[in-house]
Amino acid sequence: MKNTFQLVRNIIPPLTTKKHKGQDGRIGIVGGCQEYTGAPYFAAISALKVGADLSHVFCTQEAAPVIKSYSPELIVHPVLDSPDAVQDVEKWLPRLHALVVGPGLGRDDGLLRNVKGILEASKARDVPVVIDADGLWLIAEQPALIQGYQKAVLTPNHAEFRRLSEAVLRDPLDSSDPHGAVLRLSQALGNVTVVRKGERDVISDGRQVLECSQEGSSRRCGGQGDLLSGSLGVLVHWALLAGPEKTDGFSPLLVAAFGACSLTRQCSHQAFQKHGRSTTTTDMVAEVGPAFARLFES
Ligand SMILES: NC(=O)C1=CN([C@@H]2O[C@H](COP(=O)(O)OP(=O)(O)OC[C@H]3O[C@@H](n4cnc5c(N)ncnc54)[C@H](O)[C@@H]3O)[C@@H](O)[C@H]2O)[C@@H](O)CC1
Ligand SMILES: Nc1ncnc2c1ncn2[C@@H]1O[C@H](COP(=O)(O)OP(=O)(O)OP(=O)(O)O)[C@@H](O)[C@H]1O
Ligand SMILES: [Mg+2]
């Protein structure tokens, strides 16, 4: 695990005065609806805190003023439930380095239909996508949407992993072999990268398996998966930019996922040390800077 941290360090771009705004990452979050406005915020602000330069949120018209009110740093587009949602997002794709699809998306059929079009447009432009939360609900319904897309990373929790496996694998889940279960799901989806979050995070691209057991915390408050998916959006961009020569034979997406899992757990650990049982994801977002420095810059 120690040299895996070195692989993550290898993909982190240097901070220099020679760069222009946006060069270190322009990330789009697709999600945010009437019920859920926190999740897309957590994902978007985490991307900025990890080191992206710009964070866009593409959400429903109703959710937009709420998410805008959380932070001036976010660029919030109230388009996800518009009749031209796909075109409204697609026109931004040339200016985005990665999309994080799902935080706070909800399961409205109309929104899922729009997100299907957005995913197809993203694949057509070779945009890397992290798919989380209710984006995974859509994938479980229509696995062909990302089948074989090598620039896709899925980040299911326990329930989402089960739903995906039941949708894609015929034989029942073998819970006694977590590595094998993630390997098989990745292979069945055409070697997309899968992160099964849990007491230990298991990551596979259908060829290799990494496990993240970085000490986290025993707080299971909502939103931690959104911090992970937002951080992962940036790390995916950096890892693909750095290329496989910097990741010592591991797939860049595998290394990016290990980095995001480690960072999320470290944030949880540091926040829990300060706040104990009252820890929330907001406290964890505040720890992104110090946790990143401790894991990857010291
Ligand atoms: N503040 C917010 O706006 C938040 C919104 N969220 C959104 O809520 C939507 C649904 O997310 P959910 O995570 O509820 O997804 P699910 O609808 O898949 O719920 C997961 C269910 O599985 C159960 N579960 C989780 N881990 C388990 C385990 N280890 N063993 C057994 N059962 C387990 C949970 O109790 C939960 O009921 C997503 O779009 C998500 O982004 C969440 O991210 C939480 C925060
Ligand atoms: N039992 C556990 N012990 C330690 N860490 C855990 C445990 N379960 C999950 N985690 C960690 O908590 C974080 C979020 O995982 P979780 O399964 O809660 O995702 P999620 O349900 O998608 O979260 P969200 O509420 O954002 O949707 C990950 O970093 C994961 O590694
Ligand atoms: Mg989640």
Q: Looking at the predicted structure, is the pLDDT value of residue 174 above 80?
A: no
- Contact between 205 and 256 under an 8 Å Cβ cutoff? The reply is no
Judge whether 136 and 160 are in contact, CB under 8 Å.
Answer: yes
- State yes or no: pLDDT of 223 exceeds 80: yes
Reduce the DSSP state of residue 118 to 3 states and report it.
helix
Structure-model confidence comparison of residues 175 and 74, the more confident one: 74
Whether the per-residue pLDDT at 2 is higher than 80: the answer is: no
Please tell me the distance between residue 270's alpha carbon and the centre of ligand 1 in angstroms: 23
Residue nearest to atom 7 of ligand 1 (CA): 104
- Spell out a b/e string for 220-234, using b for 16 or more CB atoms within 10 Å of the CB, else e: ebebbbbbbbbbbbb
ipTM attached to this prediction: 0.92
Residues 77-124: tens digit of each pLDDT: 999 999 999 999 999 999 999 999 999 999 999 999 999 999 999 999
Distance CA 159, CA 265 (A): 19
Average pLDDT over residues 205-226: 97
Checking phi first, is residue 111 left (phi over 0); if not, alpha (psi -120 to 50) or beta? alpha
pLDDT tens per residue, range 251-279: 999 999 999 999 999 999 999 999 999 99
Distance of alpha carbon 280 from its chain centroid, rounded?
19
77 assigned binding-site residue: no
Indicate which ligand has the atom closest to the C-alpha of 221: 2
Q: What is the pLDDT of residue 1?
A: 60
Q: Is 226 in the pocket of ligand 2 (CB under 6 A)?
A: yes
Among the atoms of ligand 1, which is closest to the Cα of residue 160?
Answer: 18
Average pLDDT of the chain, as a whole number:
97
Q: Side chain identity at 194, as an amino acid letter?
A: V
Give the global pTM.
0.96
**pLDDT tens readout for residues 39-63:** 999 999 999 999 999 999 999 999 9
Q: 95-109, 166-180, 278-292: which range is least confident on average?
A: 166-180
Provide the pairing of β-strand 201-204 with 209-212. Answer: antiparallel
Residues 116-126 pLDDT 10s? 999 999 999 99
264 lines ligand 2 (CB under 6 A): yes
Residue 188 reports pLDDT greater than 90: yes
Does the CB atom of residue 109 touch ligand 2 within 6 A?
Answer: no
Considering only CA atoms, which of 124, 109, 122, 27 is closest in space to residue 75?
A: 27
| Lowest-pLDDT range of 159-163, 170-174, 188-192 | 170-174
Check the annotation: does 106 bind a ligand.
no
